[in-house]
Structure 1
Amino acid sequence: MLGNIKFIGELGKLDLIHESILHKCIKTSLMDQYFSRMRSLMNNKDLPARIRFLLQDTAELRENNWVPRKAFNDNGPKTINQVRQDAVKDLGVFIPAMTPGMRTDFFQENPFLPTRLSREVLGGLADMFGQMPGCGIGTGPGVIQDRYSPTMGRHRTNPLFNGHSGHMAPAPQSQFDKPFMKPNQNQNQQQAQSKDLPPRFSKKGQLNADEISLRPAQSFLLNKSQVPKLQPQIPNMIPPSAQPPRTSTPPLGQPPQLGLKTNPPPIQEKPQKTSKKPALSKEELLRITETVIKEYLSNKKISDAVNVVREMKAPKHFLPEMLSKMIVCSLDSSDDDKEHVSCLFGALRTEGLISGDNFMQAFLNVLDQCPKLEGDIPLVKSYLAQFAARAIIDDLMSIADLAHPLENGIHFPLFLLCLQQTAKLQDREWLTDLFQQSKINMQKMLPEIDQNKDRMLEILEGKGLSFLFPLMKLEKELLKQIKADPAPQTIYKWIKDNISPKLHTDKGFVNILMTSFLQYIFHEVFLNETDEQLSSPSKEQLDQEKQLLFGFKPVMQKFLHDHVELQVSALYALQVHCNTKAFPKGMLLRYFVNFYDMEIIEEEAFLAWKEDITQEFPGKGKALFQVNQWLTWLETAEEEESEEEAD
């Protein structure tokens, strides 16, 4: 599938299909790959957190069928109808709206209603909810009562509260105040009201709902003699009208009262604050640091130096400057002294007094001072390389951390000098493994004018570092050996004698081996041919090409058999070779067919190369364009063969 999509993409690059068709294919076929890539980027800590969270939101939105997690909430002001609807939903009370057709004069001029039901302006929540006279929204905490609510009789501000009428005259009784009721209707109504009352209001006998009060019972209250009289704690709290005049004197025989508290507590003196030692200034810290290094280099007592640094209690922002001062003070010392200072750095790291970041910042600070230091210390970069090599070995910093600020030949050749010093302190194999794990592009560590393979190999050989790239040197020597003696037995023996067995299963080695064979065959068959002749070779040239390829078959099978990954690397070497020659017509397809017929490359490797979407090797699109039909046939033939075996 991915090979077909890649093929369609190449057609789009060549403008052979419309852009809308290209986008349709991408949308329908590569959506899962896009989101798989997005999930991998979500876990990449190098990206900003905002980008990673946006990718995560997009992936979760797709998993939720493109439905947002949060629905739209309107938090703006509400209309009166929305308020009434919320009241019905939350309180369970239906509040009718005052419609224009409703007769309001009934409550104002009806002579059959008591006078206390006269229409007045309602306040509080009743004004907002359009409350009708006499219909409240219930009782309990949080309910604002008005004089028209059913519980009006229990309101504390009501003059009729709890039976205390005050000076308010009762309303005149009318013959129409009491409506006509059946004899048993009143009794049944009282029983229904008593059933609806909570248990806390139930008493012996039957009570009327209007007589229930939330005021504490009289038996619960204390007598006035039992209630302690509250006294003001501060004289100023006494109202001015109750305070005696300031000029008044106490009665005879009574001592003057200066306050309510006759025995004031004794005054306790605050303990004196211990004066803290002021922090050391930057100049004092630098002076102490210089003294520590001089004494340490004289007596070589690392424990004393560590204790002095611990007692300094230098702030964190000063630690890089302290370490850079130590480096500068020991630059013109002997190599033995530099080694002791490096050991001091390791001890400080072990004690937790410094970190790797502190040392890296100190190293960069000294690098900034190199132009000034080179006047007094010409070999300052070589001396710095010693500190860097020991720091790499002690894991104070990594090779990648050292390489990043030195890219594009900055402070050249400091990086190479660091590798040289590391190779002296450790063996070459350890350094080679560490360098390969760091995945540093050595060409970027050179000045821009020297950033090519030939110049890089020349510089590394001059510095004695060519062992870091054994395959690069192999590329030239192997082609020379093939030209000298193309016999497969001789080539295999030379590889065993000159190449480490660890590299026999390396993809880079397989790439160089296949490239050497292809270059030799092309040189022997099409040495002086033009582009037109390359596109239409003769039958003799095709037979010679196939014969030379068949001669190298034993060596290829020795290193490629049962290694699908290495076979894919061999196909990429063929792709780059054809791309270098501008893809002569039919060349790539001929090699594919020959590799398949000679059983050098397996079907699984061909299909894996087709589905792979790496951009490391150029020319993949054009290569797919030439062999896509053959790969489709191969995939179909493999499926038919598997079905026959199943039958």
Structure 2
Amino acid sequence: MLGNIKFIGELGKLDLIHESILHKCIKTLLEKKKRVQLKDMGEDLECLCQIMRTVGPRLDHEKAKSLMDQYYGRMRSLMNNKDLPARIRFLLQDTVELRENNWVPRKAFIDNGPKTINQIRQDAVKDLGVFIPQMSQGIRTDFFQESPFLPARIKPDRETLGGLADMFGQMPGSGIGTGPGVIQDRFSPTMGRRTNPLFNGHGGHMAPAPQPFMKSNQGQNLLFQNQTHSSQQQAQSKDMPPRFIKKGQLNADEISLRPAQSFILNKNQMPKLQPQIPTMIPPSAQPPRTSTPPLGQPPQLGLKTNPPPIQEKPQKTIKKPPPAKEELLKMTENVVTAYLSSKHMNDAVNGVREMKAPKHFLPEMLSKMIMCSLESPDEDREHVSTLINMLRMEGLVTGENFMQAFLNVLDQCPKIELDVPLVKSYLAQFAARAIIAELVSMAELAHPLENGTHFPLFLLCLQQMTKMKDREWLTDLFQQSKVNMQKMLPEIDQNKDRMLEILEGKGLSFLFPLMKLEKELLKQIIADPAPQTIYKWIKDNISPKLHTDKGFVNILMTSFLQYIIHEMYTTESDDQLSAPTKEQLDQEKQLLLGFKPVMQKFLHEHVDLQVSALYALQVHCNAHAFPKGMLLRYFVNFYDMEIIEEEAFLAWKEDIAQEFPGKGKALFQVNQWLTWLETAEEEESEEEAD
């Protein structure tokens, strides 16, 4: 299953799958299956995290923000559920944090790629405190290996001689010589595999002695000589006059065992190592990189004149560990107690700020604030709600933290109800004030309470908002939230009749004025079918805002059609509906003519409302199994009476909405008449053009 989800996600990332299909997949993975425990949903939640990581950035835009917020609200509630395995909870947490980080994964900030030489040098200086000099084109890379100023014993590539050479040959300027009494072996310096100017050769003449370690004023012009001059000097050493050849062994005073001053690096005088930028000047035009140091200065053995400093790694500061959970809870209780006694908002906010609570503790902190005020008077609960909203405005907490805290307290309701029986009413006050203060939205509150979870908490919250605000404000907010009220009820009560009964009991039926209209309007038509009486009743009982609502037109048309069937037939049998008599057909037409003024009043010049009236007719015929000829008769009568215009008929034909049942059968019955209507309209257009 996980492989299929990865495949779907990759297709969605390439825009090969529509967003609606991706949303449907996410909803399917989030829904709790019947007879399936939460701990067995691990595979679905793992697939959910996978598809969110893949297509989350594509779906998280302004239009789908409310849906994404609902998804992640559900994921946060599951993230804190101990029934799920730890691996699944951590997957959910990683996915939630990924969205909070603007869909940038944490590994994107870590540079694990290859590095350049300059980057390695900078890392060495920064982390290890070691300076690696950079070898440029003008300096020989084998300077420290073949320099005539270094003794042979420190050359890294010198072969191990062994034998007597281990004892004498390693010393600069020394040799065991030749002649009788000297044992020659393959390790002797004179029998070596390479020619060494430190030892006597077999030619019978003395080789020139090597240059010792010189003082700073003796060899200033010898350090940076190029390779050609060095090789020429070695080649001409045999032919040099005797006065230039230093005879005898080196004196001990001339051999310095201390390192040259150039090797002692002053860290405070070294500039920071900077990456070198290649120049566009050709090598021929560039100044020589090796030069003889000025007279009076010691030679710099392969190092720059001003070497960069070695930056020491800063000492790590030991952070003070955050307070323990029990300490934070005690501090929160003290802040709330002091605030309720003094009512000083700034002191309470500063107290929370000084706590420096970690982010994962914020929901528990808010839960503690709510718990501390449950047994207090209504005034104190209002003050705590104001404090929580102020903390949000100061950026110390978020709406998500409040929702997690609210749900945590709800989970403890069975225990709290033993001491505080009205705990749900008090929590409804907190939720209502949070929605009014825009701390959370109504949709965010409704999502975790679907299918009757903690029923009737959501209805209690609506009641509290009615008291704090007014009905009109709450009606507008509820319609904007697009919350499905039937889903907020227990599964056994999820039908229109039961929902209307429950809402009337809670005093919330004003949220669904059309549902109440559906029952009352038919009663009014049966009592007095006169069009003037019907219009006056609608004007007195229905808000003018609803007169252009599609739901109102649907109910109005359905009520008229139900009344016509009620008057025409004694029993609604299939035989009577499919084969009406001539008298019944005339009666049907007369009843439609009677309702014509009312229908024209609300449908005239509103094509979209006329389409809604046709859909009401379609559903009415579908409920009676499409009696033969009924839909076509009504279409013809509506057209002849000029209740519905040609444009509305054609728009209904082309519309592909699936929310109303029976569209296919309806088209089959009236398709020929619609084709005639379309052809007749085209002919009229041609005649007008002529």
Deviations 1:127-154 (A, max 9, x none): xxxxxxxxxxxxxxxxxxxxxxxxxxxx
Partner of residue 377, structure 1: 420
CA distance in 2, matches of 1:36, 1:259: 69
* Aligned 8 A contact 2:451 2:487 in 1: yes
Partner of residue 244, structure 1: 171
Q: Which of 555, 562, 582 pairs up with 2:625? A: 582
Indicate how the Cα distance of structure 1 residues 232 and 370 shifts in structure 2: closer, same or farther if over 3 A, else same. Answer: farther
Q: Which of 591, 601, 613 pairs up with 2:634? A: 591
Question: Any residues of structure 2 matched to 1:217-232 within 5 Å, and which?
Answer: 231=149
CA distance in 1, matches of 2:139, 2:409: 86
Partner of residue 357, structure 1: 400
Deviations 1:385-434 (A, max 9, x none): 01100111111111111111111111110010011111111111111011
AA partner of residue 644 (structure 2): I
* Aligned 8 A contact 2:417 2:423 in 1: yes
AA partner of residue 568 (structure 1): V
User: Which residues of structure 2 form unaligned runs of 5+?
Assistant: 1-13, 27-50, 60-136, 141-145, 161-165, 173-249, 269-311
2:459 is equivalent to residue 416 of structure 1: yes
Root mean square deviation, CA, Å? 3.6
Partner of residue 78, structure 1: none
With normalisation by structure 2, the TM-score equals 0.59
2:494 is equivalent to residue 451 of structure 1: yes
AA partner of residue 611 (structure 2): V
AA partner of residue 643 (structure 1): E
AA partner of residue 378 (structure 2): D
Indicate how the Cα distance of structure 1 residues 229 and 528 shifts in structure 2: closer, same or farther if over 3 A, else same. Answer: closer
2:662 is equivalent to residue 619 of structure 1: yes
CA distance in 2, matches of 1:271, 1:600: 86
**Could you tell me how far 1:260 is from its partner in structure 2?**
3.8
Partner of residue 337, structure 2: 294
Q: Name the SS of the counterpart of 1:375 in structure 2.
A: coil
**Could you tell me how far 1:45 is from its partner in structure 2?**
11
Indicate how the Cα distance of structure 1 residues 236 and 41 shifts in structure 2: closer, same or farther if over 3 A, else same. Answer: farther
* Aligned 8 A contact 1:42 1:52 in 2: no
* Aligned 8 A contact 1:596 1:603 in 2: yes
2:390 is equivalent to residue 347 of structure 1: yes
Q: Name the SS of the counterpart of 2:658 in structure 1.
A: coil
CA distance in 1, matches of 2:370, 2:533: 55
CA distance in 1, matches of 2:588, 2:353: 74
Deviations 1:470-517 (A, max 9, x none): 111111111111111111011111111111111100011111111111
AA partner of residue 447 (structure 2): H
Question: Any residues of structure 2 matched to 1:183-194 within 5 Å, and which?
Answer: none
* Aligned 8 A contact 2:153 2:171 in 1: no
Q: Name the SS of the counterpart of 1:376 in structure 2.
A: coil
**Could you tell me how far 1:376 is from its partner in structure 2?**
1.6
Indicate how the Cα distance of structure 1 residues 237 and 253 shifts in structure 2: closer, same or farther if over 3 A, else same. Answer: closer
Deviations 1:261-300 (A, max 9, x none): 5996799999876543222222222221111111111111
Deviations 1:591-614 (A, max 9, x none): 111000000000010111111111
2:571 is equivalent to residue 644 of structure 1: no
AA partner of residue 305 (structure 1): A
**How many residues align structurally?**
445
Partner of residue 315, structure 1: 358
Q: Which of 546, 553, 558 pairs up with 1:515? A: 558
**Could you tell me how far 1:233 is from its partner in structure 2?**
11
The range that moved more, 410-419 or 234-243, is: 234-243
Q: Name the SS of the counterpart of 1:352 in structure 2.
A: coil
CA distance in 1, matches of 2:151, 2:432: 78
Indicate how the Cα distance of structure 1 residues 252 and 552 shifts in structure 2: closer, same or farther if over 3 A, else same. Answer: closer
* Aligned 8 A contact 2:560 2:595 in 1: yes
Indicate how the Cα distance of structure 1 residues 593 and 263 shifts in structure 2: closer, same or farther if over 3 A, else same. Answer: closer
AA partner of residue 257 (structure 1): L
* Aligned 8 A contact 1:534 1:584 in 2: yes
**Could you tell me how far 1:251 is from its partner in structure 2?**
5.9
AA partner of residue 297 (structure 1): L
Indicate how the Cα distance of structure 1 residues 37 and 395 shifts in structure 2: closer, same or farther if over 3 A, else same. Answer: farther
AA partner of residue 566 (structure 1): L
Partner of residue 541, structure 1: 584
Question: Any residues of structure 2 matched to 1:623-634 within 5 Å, and which?
Answer: 623-634=666-677
CA distance in 2, matches of 1:341, 1:236: 78
Partner of residue 438, structure 2: 395
Partner of residue 114, structure 1: none
Question: Any residues of structure 2 matched to 1:107-256 within 5 Å, and which?
Answer: 231=149, 236=154, 243-244=170-171
Indicate how the Cα distance of structure 1 residues 41 and 258 shifts in structure 2: closer, same or farther if over 3 A, else same. Answer: same
Partner of residue 257, structure 1: 257
Partner of residue 143, structure 1: none
Partner of residue 33, structure 2: none
CA distance in 2, matches of 1:611, 1:271: 73
CA distance in 2, matches of 1:584, 1:358: 57
Q: Name the SS of the counterpart of 2:688 in structure 1.
A: helix
CA distance in 1, matches of 2:501, 2:513: 13
**Could you tell me how far 1:381 is from its partner in structure 2?**
0.8
* Aligned 8 A contact 1:234 1:260 in 2: no
Indicate how the Cα distance of structure 1 residues 51 and 597 shifts in structure 2: closer, same or farther if over 3 A, else same. Answer: farther
* Aligned 8 A contact 1:399 1:435 in 2: yes
User: Which residues of structure 1 form unaligned runs of 5+?
Assistant: 1-34, 57-215, 223-227
Partner of residue 643, structure 2: 600
AA partner of residue 526 (structure 1): Y
Partner of residue 521, structure 2: 478
Q: Name the SS of the counterpart of 2:605 in structure 1.
A: coil
Q: Name the SS of the counterpart of 2:421 in structure 1.
A: coil
CA distance in 2, matches of 1:51, 1:542: 61
CA distance in 2, matches of 1:588, 1:52: 46
Partner of residue 186, structure 2: none
Indicate how the Cα distance of structure 1 residues 255 and 418 shifts in structure 2: closer, same or farther if over 3 A, else same. Answer: same
Indicate how the Cα distance of structure 1 residues 270 and 432 shifts in structure 2: closer, same or farther if over 3 A, else same. Answer: closer
CA distance in 2, matches of 1:342, 1:52: 37
Indicate how the Cα distance of structure 1 residues 510 and 344 shifts in structure 2: closer, same or farther if over 3 A, else same. Answer: same
Indicate how the Cα distance of structure 1 residues 345 and 256 shifts in structure 2: closer, same or farther if over 3 A, else same. Answer: same
Deviations 1:557-595 (A, max 9, x none): 000000000001111111111111121111111111100
Q: Name the SS of the counterpart of 1:354 in structure 2.
A: coil
Deviations 1:407-462 (A, max 9, x none): 11111100100111111111111110111111111111111111111111111011
AA partner of residue 460 (structure 2): L
CA distance in 2, matches of 1:600, 1:508: 18
With normalisation by structure 1, the TM-score equals 0.63
CA distance in 1, matches of 2:598, 2:267: 102
Deviations 1:530-559 (A, max 9, x none): 211211100000000110111000000000
Indicate how the Cα distance of structure 1 residues 554 and 275 shifts in structure 2: closer, same or farther if over 3 A, else same. Answer: same
AA partner of residue 522 (structure 2): L
Indicate how the Cα distance of structure 1 residues 548 and 232 shifts in structure 2: closer, same or farther if over 3 A, else same. Answer: farther
CA distance in 2, matches of 1:618, 1:262: 94
* Aligned 8 A contact 1:517 1:552 in 2: yes
AA partner of residue 412 (structure 1): F
* Aligned 8 A contact 2:152 2:170 in 1: no
Q: Name the SS of the counterpart of 2:418 in structure 1.
A: helix
Q: Which of 424, 447, 462 pairs up with 2:505? A: 462
Among all aligned residue pairs of Structure 1 and Structure 2, give the percentage whose two residues are the same amino acid: 74
Q: Which of 405, 411, 419 pairs up with 1:368? A: 411
Indicate how the Cα distance of structure 1 residues 233 and 504 shifts in structure 2: closer, same or farther if over 3 A, else same. Answer: farther
Indicate how the Cα distance of structure 1 residues 531 and 446 shifts in structure 2: closer, same or farther if over 3 A, else same. Answer: same
**Could you tell me how far 1:237 is from its partner in structure 2?**
5.1
CA distance in 2, matches of 1:347, 1:280: 24
**Could you tell me how far 1:377 is from its partner in structure 2?**
1.4
